[in-house]
Chains A and B, each alone.
Chain A
Amino acid sequence: MLKDITIGQYFPGKSPVHRLDARLKILLTIAYIVMLFMADDIKGLGVCICFTFMIYIISRIPLKMMWKSVKPILVIIIITALLNLFFVHTGTPYFEWKFIKITDKGVQTAVFMVVRILCLITGTSLLTYTTSPIDLTDAIERLLSPLKKIKVPVHEFAMMMTIALRFIPTLIEETDKIMCAQKARGADMETGSIFKKAKALIPVLIPLFVSSFRHADELALAMECRCYHGGDGRTKMKQLKLKLLDLWGTLFLIVFFAGVIVINKLG
Chain B
Amino acid sequence: MAIIRTENLTYIYGEGTPFRKVAVDDVNLQIDEGEMVGVIGHTGSGKSTLIQHFNGLLKATSGNVYIDGEKLWDDKAKLRPVRFKVGLVFQYPEYQLFEETCYKDIAFGPKNMGLDNAEIDRRIKETAKMVGITPDILDKSPFELSGGQKRRVAIAGVMAMEPKVLILDEPASGLDPKGREQILGLIKEYHQEKKNTVVLVSHSMEDIAKHTSKILVMNKAKLFCYDDTVKVFHRAAELEEMGLAVPQITRVFNRLKAMGCDINDDVYTTKYAKELLLKLLAR
Cβ contacts under 8 Å, B89 to chain A: 184
Chain A residues near B97: list those with CB within 8 A: 207
Q: Is the CB of A207 within 8 A of B57?
A: no
Contact, CB under 8 Å: B57 / A184: yes
Within 8 Å by CB of B143, from A184, A202, A210, lies A210
Tell me if B's interface is mostly helix, strand, loop or mixed. Answer: helix
B55 within 8 Å of A (CB atoms) = yes
Q: Report whether A207 and B161 are in contact in the complex, using a CB–CB cutoff of 8 Å.
A: no
Residues of A within 8 A of B83 (CB): 183-186
For A177, the chain B residues whose CB sits under 8 A away are: 90, 95
Residues B96 and A182 in contact, CB atoms below 8 Å apart:
yes
Q: Which residue from chain A places its CB closest to the CB of B87 in the assembled complex?
A: A184
Is there an interface contact between A188 and B112, defined as CB atoms closer than 8 Å? yes
Across-interface contacts of B84 in A (CB, < 8 A): 186
Interface check A30, CB cutoff 8 A: no
Contact B161 A186 (CB under 8 A): yes
Q: Which residue on chain B has the smallest CB distance to residue A206?
A: B98
Q: Is B55's CB under 8 angstroms from A185's CB?
A: no
Residue in chain B with minimal CB distance to A178: B96
Q: Judging by beta carbons under 8 Å apart, are B95 and A185 in contact?
A: no
A166-188 CB contacts (< 8 Å) to partner B: 174, 177-178, 180-188
State in angstroms the CA–CA spacing of A207 and B88 once bound together: 18
Q: List which A148-194 residues lie within 8 A (CB) of chain B.
A: 174, 177-178, 180-188
Q: How far is the CA of A202 from the CA of B97 in the complex (A)?
A: 11
In the complex, whether A203 has a CB less than 8 A from a CB of chain B is yes
In chain A, positions 187-246 with a C-beta closer than 8 Å to chain B are 187-188, 202-203, 206-207, 210-211
Q: How far is the CA of A188 from the CA of B111 in the complex (A)?
A: 12
A180 near B112: Cβ-Cβ < 8 Å: no
Contacts of A206 in B (CB 8 A): 98
Q: B140 contacts the other chain (Cβ, under 8 Å)? A: no
Residue of A nearest to B108 (CB): A185
Whole-angstrom distance between the alpha carbons of A178 and B94 in the complex? 10
Interface residues on A, range: 10 to 19
Q: Decide: A185 near B57, CB < 8 A? Known: A207-B98, A211-B95.
A: no
Given A180-B52, A203-B108, residue A186 in contact with residue B80 (CB < 8 A): yes
Q: Residue-by-residue, is B44-88 near A (CB-CB < 8 Å gives 1, otherwise 0)?
A: 000000001001010000000000000000000000100110011
For residue B163, give the distance in angstroms from its CB to the closest CB of chain A.
10
A256 → B minimal CB distance (Å): 35
Say whether B187 faces chain A, with CB atoms less than 8 Å apart: no
Q: In this assembly, does B157 line the interface, its C-beta being within 8 Å of a C-beta of chain A?
A: yes
Q: Once the chains bind, are B98 and A181 in contact (CB under 8 Å)?
A: no
Measured between beta carbons, the chain A residues less than 8 angstroms from B96 are 178, 181-182, 185, 203, 207
Task: Name B residues whose Cβ lies closer than 8 Å to a Cβ of A.
Answer: 14, 52, 55, 57, 80, 83-84, 87-90, 93, 95-98, 108-109, 112-113, 143, 157-158, 161
- Not counting A180-B57, A185-B161, a sample of 12 additional A-B residue pairs whose C-beta atoms are within 8 angstroms of each other reads A177-B95, A178-B95, A181-B90, A182-B96, A182-B108, A184-B55, A184-B88, A186-B83, A186-B108, A188-B80, A188-B112, A207-B95
Closest 9 CB pairs of A and B: A186-B112, A206-B98, A181-B96, A185-B109, A184-B88, A181-B90, A203-B98, A207-B98, A180-B57
